Amino acid sequence: MNKQYALEINNLSVSFFTADGETEAVRDVSLSLRQGEVLALVGESGCGKSVFCKAIMGLLSKDARIKSGEILKDDRDIRTLSEREMQLLRGSGISMIFQDPLTSLNPTMTIGRQIAEAVKLHNRELNRQQIKAKVLELLELVGIPDAESRYDSYPYHFSGGMRQRCVMAIALAADPQILIADEPTTALDVTIQAEILNLLKEIQKKRNMSILFVTHDLGVVAKIADRVAVMYAGKIVEYGMAEEIFYDARHPYTWGLLSALPYYARAKGELQAIPGFPPHLTPPPKGDAFAVRNPYAMEIDYEEMPPFFPVSETHFAATWLLDEHAPEVVSPFREISKRRCGA
Amino acid sequence: MMENKDILVDVQGLTHQFPMGKKKSIKAVHHVSFQIRRDEIFSLVGESGSGKSTVARCLMNIYEPTEGTIRYDGINLCDKKEREQHKTRLQRERQIIFQDSASALNQRMKTKDIVAEPLRIQHIFSEKEELDQYVRQQLEMVGLEENYLNRRPSELSGGQRQRIAIARAFGMKPRLLVADEPIASLDVSIQAQVIKLFQHLQEEHDCAILFIAHDLSMVRYLSDRVGVMCKGHLVEMGETEKIFQNPLHSYTKSLLSAIPVPDPALEKKRSSVTYDAASIWNTGIMVEAEEGHWVMQEEADHENLI
């Protein structure tokens, strides 16, 4: 295992077994999280990003199964850990925050006690005063003013942004090396979102944490991510440094996502929508799942899954357009973004 | 000022209070005034709790305003008698699309019946065949094919449900469409589809749209004029580009600086402006800074106007 990786995921496949048959939610995904980086996982709802995160945390529901692949943390496959070992890993090794802070918090417990619970679990030797001191320290870390008086507040006393800060305090209670953030700011207002993102970035730098940040908002990605992976229909279709994805995307789906942003379409009528809807994954379509919505699709796209083609040392895209036999296609997005940046 | 005959909706001094218990009440909207022209898309933006939706609901007579007047094409909507007189017309000409189409559509009805229901109530078609034909046409226009006619909302995705809500609203050929966060629950690529649909239908039907959203880049793309709301006050109003390029009120500045821009090099350099909304509780008055661009000035700094 490479030392620079905090988490290495190889060929992970997760399926749901339902009455309608097998739904392949995550299909053969390999993704590695480097030490101290923010990796954004981008995709539309239903593309499998949340299932992917839950698989890493060992939180899959009963009808889901990891079919193949390995999740390596410190040279050990997480899948081989017992539930007890897994519990120790959750929180201290890998922590997770979810989209809706209200459902992650217990409405009948004070904020202070909920954070103390997480602190206690991972630091058995601490006495009551020490725990309280640690909780107050955490509350300060996540930017809750006047922590002492907030200790005895209930979740309903707090606004959405404050609740998300409390959830962050719980997630950070045991100094995790890796934080998985599943759409943590989607439910918040833009001004609150900006505060939470700045805070997350600040804490990440301070503690040299690795963050896997799941979102569908490309603006948020641009703000926070060092690297970006784009997911579609259960597969990663393109990954690279943030600049490479935003300025030099190679996969038609990434072009589509970027062109669908009103930011790049100033004149009326310039907004480009991706036609059609994402495919069903019970069972997934043959070949490239994006082919039916892809104006550049070739015959081979309907037949065979494209492998990853290297664009640079850090940038890879899974599209047949990068094959040497493919016709030359210029990204339609490049023109738009050039004009935008020139303006 | 705008020509009188161009104005479809004229809101003057709209205030709405929600009672909180017997003695207290909370002011959701404070003395808001704006006008909507017959063929424009007017957007209201602001954070949650700023009162945007309350304004929209007052416009649709879902809420009864506490103070102020709303005139729709000369009809005073706050006057019960006058409203009753023009009931049919108001029902036909004003349509609303809600954010959460899953709860706005009747789960027990089929797609075609949902779209046909308002048409049937208004007796717009006398023949059943005509009605069916028209419903089919409407669904086709929003990109839903024949095989969706007999499905129920639970069998559809969020984007498809929102299309049905749009087809139902546009099917009535409204002159005023109120769209309350119609795209907030949708995915990026589907958002673009729905917005394009809005634009297309607006151009075709030539109606006025009150568009409410918190996605400011979408607002900038779509609308002709924008009003910015904060804590129930309308703090700034004007043509879209003027507001976005030259925001005057400090709340607008902070709101605009908070939207993340999908451009990593630019985004990592930007810093956000913070604004303390506490001062907004003082009442201010709207001042015209340049032609058609209004900004709220707090009474204290009246002397040092721009």
| The pLDDT value given to residue A107 | 92
Question: Taking CB atoms and an 8 Å cutoff, what residues of chain A touch B216?
Answer: 190
Question: Taking CB atoms and an 8 Å cutoff, what residues of chain A touch B196?
Answer: 271, 273
- Whether residues B262 and A246 touch (CB distance < 8 A) is answered with yes
Q: Work out the minimum CA distance from B193 to partner chain A, whole angstroms.
A: 5
Distance (Å, whole) CA B198 – CA B208: 11
| The pLDDT value given to residue B281 | 56
> Average per-residue pLDDT in chain B?
85
Residues of chain A numbered 243-302 and touching chain B (CB < 8 Å): 243, 246, 256-258, 260-266, 268-269, 271-275, 277
Residue B154 is classified by DSSP as G
Chosen for mutation from B209, B263, B271, B275 (greatest number of chain A CBs closer than 10 Å) is: B263
Dump pLDDT digits (tens) for B44-54: 998 888 889 89
Kindly list the distances between the CA atom of residue B138 and the CA atoms of A72, B115, B125, B129, B165, in Å, as whole numbers in the listed order. 53, 8, 14, 14, 11
Question: Taking CB atoms and an 8 Å cutoff, what residues of chain A touch B191?
Answer: 260
Mean pLDDT comparison of A148-152, A337-341, B100-104, B295-299, highest-scoring range = A148-152
- Angle (CA) B243 B249 B253, round 5°: 70
User: Who among B189, B192, B260 is closest to A223 (CB)?
Assistant: B260
- Whether residues A243 and B265 touch (CB distance < 8 A) is answered with yes
Q: Which residue has the tokens 């059943």?
A: B128
Structure tokens at B155: 């069998």
Q: Which fold has domain B4-300?
A: Rossmann fold (3.40.50)
Mean pLDDT, residues B125-148 taken together:
87
Residues (pLDDT < 50) of chain A are 1, 342-343
User: Who among A191, A272, A277 is closest to B258 (CB)?
Assistant: A191
Kindly list the distances between the CA atom of residue B116 and the CA atoms of B131, B132, B159, B168, B202, in Å, as whole numbers in the listed order. 7, 8, 20, 7, 20
| The pLDDT value given to residue B1 | 47
- Whether residues B159 and A277 touch (CB distance < 8 A) is answered with yes
> Domain extents for chain B?
4-300
Is the pLDDT confidence value at B305 over 60? no
Question: Taking CB atoms and an 8 Å cutoff, what residues of chain A touch B257?
Answer: 194
Dump pLDDT digits (tens) for A41-74: 998 888 888 899 999 998 898 889 999 999 998 8
Are B73 and B137 a contacting pair, CB within 8 Å? no
Give this complex's ipTM: 0.77
Chosen for mutation from A196, A227, A263 (greatest number of chain B CBs closer than 10 Å) is: A263
Question: Taking CB atoms and an 8 Å cutoff, what residues of chain B touch A221?
Answer: 262, 264
Are B179 and B41 a contacting pair, CB within 8 Å? no
Give the amino acid at A154: Y
The shares of helix, strand and coil residues in chain A, as percent rounded to the nearest 5, are 40, 20, 40
Chosen for mutation from B142, B160, B161, B189 (greatest number of chain A CBs closer than 10 Å) is: B189
| The pLDDT value given to residue B301 | 52
- Whether residues B263 and A263 touch (CB distance < 8 A) is answered with yes
- Whether residues A261 and B188 touch (CB distance < 8 A) is answered with yes
- Whether residues A223 and B268 touch (CB distance < 8 A) is answered with yes
Distance (Å, whole) CA A330 – CA A314: 21
| The pLDDT value given to residue A268 | 64
| Burial (CB count <10 Å: 0-12, 13-18, 19+), residue A205 | exposed
| The pLDDT value given to residue B42 | 94
Q: Where are the beta strands (DSSP E) in chain B?
A: 7-20, 24-37, 41-45, 67-72, 75-76, 94-97, 176-180, 208-212, 225-230, 233-239, 284-290, 293-298
| The pLDDT value given to residue B300 | 54
Give the amino acid at B248: L
Kindly list the distances between the CA atom of residue A254 and the CA atoms of A246, A277, B154, in Å, as whole numbers in the listed order. 9, 15, 30
Q: Work out the minimum CA distance from B201 to partner chain A, whole angstroms.
A: 13
Are A119 and A142 a contacting pair, CB within 8 Å? no
User: Who among A218, A256, A271 is closest to B262 (CB)?
Assistant: A218
> Domain extents for chain A?
5-225, 251-342
Dump pLDDT digits (tens) for B145-171: 788 888 898 888 777 888 899 889 988
C-beta contacts of A50-55 below 8 A and 24+ residues apart: A50/A182, A50/A214, A51/A14, A51/A25, A51/A26, A52/A12, A52/A14, A52/A26, A52/A231, A53/A96, A53/A180, A53/A182, A53/A212, A53/A214, A55/A12, A55/A14, A55/A26
Is the pLDDT confidence value at B4 over 80? no
pTM for the predicted model, two decimal places = 0.84
Task: Decide: helix, strand or coil at residue A171.
Answer: helix
Nearest Cα to Cα of residue B211 among B174, B183, B239 = B183
Residue of B nearest to A247 (CA): B263
- Whether residues B221 and A271 touch (CB distance < 8 A) is answered with yes
Q: Work out the minimum CA distance from B300 to partner chain A, whole angstroms.
A: 26
Question: Is A5-225 CATH 3.40.50.300?
Answer: yes
- Whether residues B260 and A261 touch (CB distance < 8 A) is answered with no
| The pLDDT value given to residue B101 | 80
Mean pLDDT, residues B5-16 taken together:
90
Structure tokens at A187: 């439910």
Dump pLDDT digits (tens) for B170-209: 888 899 999 998 887 777 777 888 888 888 878 888 889 9
Residue of B nearest to A42 (CA): B188
Q: Work out the minimum CA distance from A81 to partner chain B, whole angstroms.
A: 36
